[in-house]
Structure 1
């Protein structure tokens, strides 16, 4: 089918320099808007806010997880693990992977070692790199106009503040989009570098392992239309195994350093005690099911069965959209398989709470589906909705940030 084939030779393709400048113009305009939003949020921050009553733009960089990344750069990882008064593993830095905080610290050296300055620079530059990489990925399937609009949605989206705060998402998105482009172009060599970089930037590389497995099956099924040669089979299998090893590497490192084999998992579960009573455990799908129970029964006082029905219906609708919606099919099988793999990963390991908005950012290639319709009214409407969503998120997470659903 035409929608499953790479665009062979797009007509009138602009030079790489011109593309980089166009994306830069979009990105800088979006960053100005986000800066304004963050400035207003800092001004509105009160005594109940996480940032306090005298917050400024600098505080937004190191707020929330930014403080943990700063702690990693400043003092490393704890050994032994800190414990609560009840003897349980407390929240600690092992939940945060090392590449982003240490890279930010290195970048900060010419600026007096101010970690927040380094983190801001890394996030800004990585966000621009991610925008360029997203353009390259989507341009394989979409025309130039739709691709630029998709980049505008991405750069201005509801979670676009992540390009200006001390979070590792922007850097991880850069690696991810480059990796997806490599798979789409069958250029597997760079993945041997990109996969470890992803693994030590943000959790989630196990979703990429699942994606490579599904992609390998798809390539085998389609081998009559696109020849599947032995070197490609070797690459897909080797990279899948590398993704699995890299996905568990940090857990093994945490266990080796602390002498506690379950150090990383115990650290992650420490955060869930903020939401549920008792000593939580982990099994595949258990966190997500526990989250449904928490929100529907405990918080909203609704029947648990209703939660299961609504979530199940949502999964079916999303699955159908990825499989059958023409605008999504237009993006190609690689983006669709990645999106499905990442959503399965979240269902397997994530306890749903307000951070779900941030954790959905790796699905950003799907912005291309919103850009496919050629109606200018539609595209402008989507952009306006992105900006409204961005202000809503910034206002709640930074200006307020004082209740259970206002945690980025």
Structure 2
């Protein structure tokens, strides 16, 4: 008798059993999915996560904020994000700049709006024209500019670092100790954007596109003069290495032209202050008004403010003045050595030129006080060097350290305590 072909015993293959696909299972793992994401999606997620974390910390600190010159006790996030100099930007956006410089009782120029450049308050004011309240518009501009800076920074770091290192550099940038400034009512994040663009264009040798970026930068935050020095160093480097890296005459002329234009842009705002107020040193005297609370009214002598600050801080801590001045000298030496560390040299000569130029610029004119950490923030490309080590314990330690320092900055510097003479 022949077997029933439909019966299981008739040799039918039975139900098909699929073997597990290890490749498909691997693709479902979060780590692999993360690696497959486009770079800009990763940067977006990193930046968004960092800003959420900072917002939580700011709200927590705001609960302990007492009444002050800007807000009542326990202000909401937007009020807390618009303390300190944010009010100066609001004054500029609403009323512009004074034609007459205010004078103190002893006849010196006092603190006034001319210390702050116009592009950030102008952009914020433009958003208020479409219905956004000023405080919200100020935060929106800062957050958007910071996001743009993170994207450009990733492209810049990718010129020198492998993908994972470039992304970790962005992580450090987004959670840096002073990164809350990128979601407060300050112009810093807009300045970060122009700086990152300028460095990327310089590294890629797209010199002509620097002109509009420099114009925007020069009216956002100080630093154009330092970048002019960077361009001068870049020119000398390329000329010196022209045999192995051709430096055509046309490119030489373009670099010289852009460098001179950048230097002029760096002096443009002081010239505008002079033209409007009629006082030649109006901008310089305005800037000096902020340090008079520490050392009194003094003339600006280049390359002396850091030693003055070192002496002041040492005396304030019951130490001899020479101790503070010696500490400044050691700090300057350490900064010079840092520029030649292997991890920093990986970032290329142009980024190192910028770090050196901006460091020299600050050493020449800046008086170190509580806002030093914020003023140092344009050196943010250094995060590329900090991103070189790949060990997990190192990276998680850096993330934890930066988050803790970020909270301490919000609680100790941004938060206002009674008569607080330590502005961020």
* Superposition TM-score tier, normalisation by shorter sequence: over 0.9
Structure 2 residue aligned with 1:8: none
Structure 1 residue aligned with 2:138: 119
Instruction: Output the aligned Cα RMSD.
Output: 1.9
1:230 aligns with 2:254: no
Give the SS at the match of 1:142: coil
With over 3 angstroms needed to count, the CA separation of the structure-2 counterparts of 1:282 and 1:362, relative to structure 1, is same
Structure 1 residue aligned with 2:79: 59
Shift of 1:377: 1.1
Q: Which of 1 and 2 has greater Rg?
A: 2
> CA contact under 8 A between 1:49 and 1:398: conserved in structure 2?
no
**1:249-279 residue CA offsets vs partner (Å, 9 max, x unmatched):** 10010011011111111111111111123x2
Matches within 5 A, 1:301-380: 301-323=318-340, 325-380=341-396
Matches within 5 A, 1:70-219: 70-112=90-132, 114-219=133-238
TM-score, normalised relative to structure 2? 0.89
TM-score, normalised relative to structure 1? 0.92
Equivalent of residue 307 in structure 2, options 289, 296, 299: 289
Shift of 1:206: 0.7
**1:359-383 residue CA offsets vs partner (Å, 9 max, x unmatched):** 1111111101111111011111111
**Larger RCO, structure (CA 8 Å, separation 6 or more):** 1
Structure 2 residue aligned with 1:260: 279
Matches within 5 A, 1:272-287: 272-277=291-296, 279-287=297-305
Shift of 1:63: 0.6
1:399 aligns with 2:419: no
Show structure 1 runs of 5+ residues with no match: 1-13
With over 3 angstroms needed to count, the CA separation of the structure-2 counterparts of 1:399 and 1:271, relative to structure 1, is closer
Task: For 1:322 and 1:401, locate their aligned partners in 2 and report how far apart those are by CA, in whole Å.
Answer: 37
**1:95-126 residue CA offsets vs partner (Å, 9 max, x unmatched):** 000000010110222234x2112111111110
4+ runs of 1 displaced by more than 6 Å? Answer: none
Structure 2 residue aligned with 1:44: 64
Farther off after superposition, 180-189 or 280-289: 280-289
Shift of 1:52: 4.1
> CA contact under 8 A between 1:81 and 1:89: conserved in structure 2?
yes
Structure 1 residue aligned with 2:405: 389
Task: For 1:219 and 1:341, locate their aligned partners in 2 and report how far apart those are by CA, in whole Å.
Answer: 17
Aligned residues: 391
